[in-house]
Amino acid sequence: MGTMPRYSIVIPAYNEEKRLLRLLSDFSDPQAEYIFVCDGTDRTDTVITKFSADNPQLTIRCLTFSRRLGKGGGVYEGFRVATAPLVGFMDADNSTTNAEMLRLIDLIGKNDGIIGSRHMPGSDVQTHQPLSRRFQSRVFNLLIRVLFGLPYYDTQCGAKFFRREALFQVLPYLRATGFEFDVEVLWKMRRTGFRIIEVPVVWNDTGDSRLQTSDAFSMLKTLLRLRWG
């Protein structure tokens, strides 16, 4: 790679072949480094590789794994190879768009990290999740506040950026590989003394979430182990 990219975006992409082109079509910044982490069983990596070949002006990296990494495991692997001074991650379903990710960069200021929120005042949720999922999300957020003392409205929104020098101080100590990864990285960065701000975002529920109800029990078990283990 020649010139260092301005920012790196990690996108965990587990079996995203059918809906990935909508996200890829929004990528146009030659100053960005897009890092996809593919650990599924479909042709997601083929779609990414073809798009990259058709758009040589973009820096697109595709990491392929034969084993399931989990959401957190995928983000972790992407973080490890990111080269830009700002490192973030977003969901492959495009629920938070590339334009919103760029807005986070503009708002980070002198802070060590910035996270998007679907629940804080000022957020614009244009397509809502089902009522049951919204209820689960609020209960989960309350639990996180009690267990970890995190002040955020929404730890799970797939729109986050961190300064590389801050993130890499905690990266070797991250253990979560599932959806609880977001909580662990925020908790350990705050415990280390880094400042992370939260801002409202424009967000759309796209359906077909990779997070299932059964995952909630696994997340709770892992979070309890992280907090006291």
- By DSSP bridging, strand 86-90 and strand 159-163 are antiparallel
Domain positions in the chain are 7-228
pLDDT of residue 208: 62
The model's pLDDT over 90-105, given as tens digits with 9 standing for 90+, comes to 999 999 999 999 999 9
Mean pLDDT by 10 residues, the chain (229 residues): 87 95 94 97 97 97 96 97 98 93 97 96 87 80 90 94 98 93 96 98 79 68 84
The model's pLDDT over 34-49, given as tens digits with 9 standing for 90+, comes to 999 999 999 999 999 9
Distance CA 15, CA 168 (A): 28
Residue 28 backbone dihedrals phi, psi, to 5 degrees: -145, 0
pLDDT of residue 81: 98
Distance CA 132, CA 227 (A): 27
pLDDT of residue 162: 98
pLDDT of residue 1: 47
Residues in the chain: 229
- By DSSP bridging, strand 202-204 and strand 124-127 are parallel
Residues 6+ apart with CB under 8 A from 174: 72, 76, 181, 184, 185, 188
Q: Which fold has domain 7-228?
A: Spore Coat Polysaccharide Biosynthesis Protein SpsA; Chain A (3.90.550)
- By DSSP bridging, strand 32-38 and strand 7-13 are parallel
pLDDT of residue 215: 67
Which tokens go with 225? 């182990």
Predicted TM-score (pTM) of the model is: 0.91
Q: Are 4 and 31 in contact (CB under 8 A)?
A: no
